[in-house]
């Protein structure tokens, strides 16, 4: 029995992934014996509707100066964040006198567009190596974790924020009450607080269990965001579904009572209740679906291995860490994983220790099957590889079910 990080109510896990390494800890040491792990159990709180990890991993081991995720390596994400920034600018009439603060600003993939339009902006990014990429673009960045104290500092030394933004970051933060307290004092009276994160509704419907890893402390719904916001005098006023990360939701909040609540909020909450996201049963069913995927995928991998076929992975993602470690996939079943990110080249995947090699060597490896870990970019990837992965070469998928495509 654990206590909810939001409302302190007791609750139990609905799925246990066992001991799990840090998802982005791609190491050059194949035989390292000091790998950090934590028990990755996930629970649902029936009082505030929050889905969350029961154990919180060491944050310094997750977000550090060698953090390996650079958002700008994906053309899809570059386009997405330009659209995001354009939407925020036009909806809120931002100009040179405005201040946009992005929490978890990564390599400046979103703030660069505000900067280009001469709109004041400030990034908060604790990982020094990705923050430095932003600085090279001319973006001012504070390399600290955002909390109430940092919000006070920014409010005093800069100004109140017209927009506080975050993308795939608030799901990472266990001390979320301090963040919301900070947002409350930093946000201008007419300002907006906008964030998007993987959406628990999509995770449940698609059985996309690999959205659960060390960094994703919370998986939000409109129901849980609404409850959490009201605890801090912030009101959910708009929701917008997004296709990023296999299914995300963009939430817009404002100071309570200041702005009109849009119809989209009531519509989504109604849909969530129809899906049963406010009851434990939906999550128990999800756990059963995940374990079916596990059995089916392992049967596929063992079968093709016994037939003498070669399987490689495509995309050394954080999601792949959950899949390989929970399912017990080693380099005996998946010989290597190919990735476009230079910081991951010639490393080994966390826990499973599968070699991660440069994408440029993918076609030379001549696989029979390709296990697509980066399934959330499937359309983009399959279009790119259509002249190579055809005929005798086939994709293996595991979301929403384990199968060989065109088999």
pLDDT classification of 265: cutoffs 50, 70, 90: very high
- The CATH number of residue 332's host domain is 3.40.50.720
Placement of tokens 């977000």 in the chain: 63
Residue 34 lies in a domain: no
Helix (H) or strand (E) holding 156: helix 148-157
Let me know whether 271 and 318 are in one domain: no
What is the per-residue pLDDT for 35? 77
Domain ranges, residue 268: 71-279
- The CATH number of residue 176's host domain is 3.40.50.150
Residue 20 lies in a domain: no
Cis ω on the peptide bond leading into residue 272 (within 30° of 0)? no
Q: Of the candidates 279, 313, 331, which is a domain's last residue? A: 279
Let me know whether 249 and 143 are in one domain: yes
Using the 8-state DSSP alphabet, how is residue 260 labeled?
A: P
Let me know whether 275 and 304 are in one domain: no
Residue 106 lies in a domain: yes
Let me know whether 261 and 334 are in one domain: no
Residue 171's φ and ψ, nearest 5 degrees, are -70, -15
Residue 28 lies in a domain: no
Q: What is the average pLDDT across 312-333?
A: 97
Let me know whether 225 and 309 are in one domain: no
Let me know whether 254 and 380 are in one domain: no
* Contact between residue 153 and residue 101 where contact means Cβ atoms under 8 Å apart: no
Mean pLDDT of the chain: 93
Q: What is the DSSP string of 190-254?
A: EEEEEEEEEBHHHHHHHT-GGG-STT--EEB-HHHHHHHHHTTTEEEEEEEEE-GGGSEEEEEEE
C-alpha triplet 17, 21, 27: angle, nearest 5°: 150
* Contact between residue 312 and residue 357 where contact means Cβ atoms under 8 Å apart: no
What's the structural domain count of the chain? 2
Let me know whether 95 and 223 are in one domain: yes
Residue 26 lies in a domain: no
Let me know whether 343 and 380 are in one domain: yes
What is the per-residue pLDDT for 61? 66
What is the per-residue pLDDT for 31? 58
Q: Which of 71-85, 111-125, 160-174, 189-203 has the lowest mean pLDDT?
A: 71-85
pLDDT tens digits along 71-109: 666 777 888 999 999 999 999 999 999 999 999 999 999
Share of the chain above pLDDT 90, in %: 82
Sequence-distant (≥ 6) Cβ neighbours of residue 185 within 8 angstroms: 148, 151, 152, 155
What is the per-residue pLDDT for 33? 47
Burial grade of 378 (CB within 10 A; 0-12, 13-18, 19 or more): middle
Let me know whether 304 and 388 are in one domain: yes
What is the per-residue pLDDT for 156? 96
pLDDT tens digits along 20-77: 999 988 888 765 545 789 999 999 999 999 999 999 877 666 665 555 566 666 777 8
pLDDT classification of 305: cutoffs 50, 70, 90: very high
Let me know whether 260 and 308 are in one domain: no
What is the per-residue pLDDT for 114? 96
What is the per-residue pLDDT for 28? 85
Let me know whether 178 and 324 are in one domain: no
pLDDT classification of 128: cutoffs 50, 70, 90: confident
Let me know whether 255 and 363 are in one domain: no
* Contact between residue 94 and residue 100 where contact means Cβ atoms under 8 Å apart: yes
What is the per-residue pLDDT for 152? 97
Whole-angstrom CA distances from 138 to 64, 66, 82, 142, 314 are: 22, 21, 17, 13, 33
* Contact between residue 73 and residue 341 where contact means Cβ atoms under 8 Å apart: yes
Distance CA(326)–CA(369), nearest Å, equals 21
């Amino acid at each position: 029995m654990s206590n909810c990080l939001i409302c302190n109510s007791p609750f139990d896990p609905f799925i246990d992934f066992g001991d799990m390494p840090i998802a982005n800890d791609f190491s050059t040491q194949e035989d390292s014996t000091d790998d950090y792990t934590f028990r990755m159990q996930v629970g649902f709180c029936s009082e505030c509707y929050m889905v969350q990890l029961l154990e919180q991993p060491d944050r310094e081991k997750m977000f550090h100066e060698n953090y390996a995720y650079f958002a700008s390596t994906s053309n899809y994400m570059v386009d997405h964040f330009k659209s995001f920034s354009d939407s925020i600018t036009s909806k809120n009439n931002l100009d040179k006198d405005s201040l946009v603060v992005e929490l978890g600003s990564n390599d400046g993939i979103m703030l660069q567009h505000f900067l280009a339009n001469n709109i004041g902006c400030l990034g908060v990014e604790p990982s020094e190596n990705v923050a430095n990429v932003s600085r090279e673009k001319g973006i001012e960045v504070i390399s600290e974790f955002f909390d109430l104290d940092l919000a006070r500092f920014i409010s005093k030394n800069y100004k109140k924020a017209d927009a506080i933004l975050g993308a795939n970051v608030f799901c990472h933060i266990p001390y979320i009450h301090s963040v919301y307290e900070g947002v409350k004092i930093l946000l201008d009276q007419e300002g907006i607080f906008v964030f998007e994160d993987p959406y628990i509704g999509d995770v449940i419907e698609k059985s996309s269990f690999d959205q659960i890893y060390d960094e994703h402390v919370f998986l939000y719904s409109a129901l849980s965001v609404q409850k959490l916001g009201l605890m801090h005098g912030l009101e959910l006023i708009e929701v917008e579904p997004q296709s990023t990360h296999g299914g995300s939701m963009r939430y817009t909040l404002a100071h309570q009572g200041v702005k009109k609540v849009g119809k989209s909020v009531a519509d989504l909450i109604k849909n969530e209740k129809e899906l049963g996201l406010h009851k434990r049963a939906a999550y128990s069913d999800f756990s059963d679906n995940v374990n079916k995927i596990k059995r089916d995928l392992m049967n596929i991998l063992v079968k093709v291995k016994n037939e003498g076929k070669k399987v490689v992975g495509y995309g050394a993602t954080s999601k792949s860490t959950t899949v390989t470690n929970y399912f017990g996939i080693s380099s005996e079943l998946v010989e290597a994983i190919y990735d476009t990110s230079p910081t991951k080249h010639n490393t080994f995947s966390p826990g499973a220790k599968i070699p991660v090699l440069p994408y440029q060597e993918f076609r030379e490896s001549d696989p029979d099957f390709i296990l697509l870990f980066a399934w959330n970019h499937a359309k983009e990837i399959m279009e790119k590889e259509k002249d190579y992965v055809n005929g005798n070469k086939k994709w293996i998928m595991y979301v929403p079910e384990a199968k060989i495509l065109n088999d």
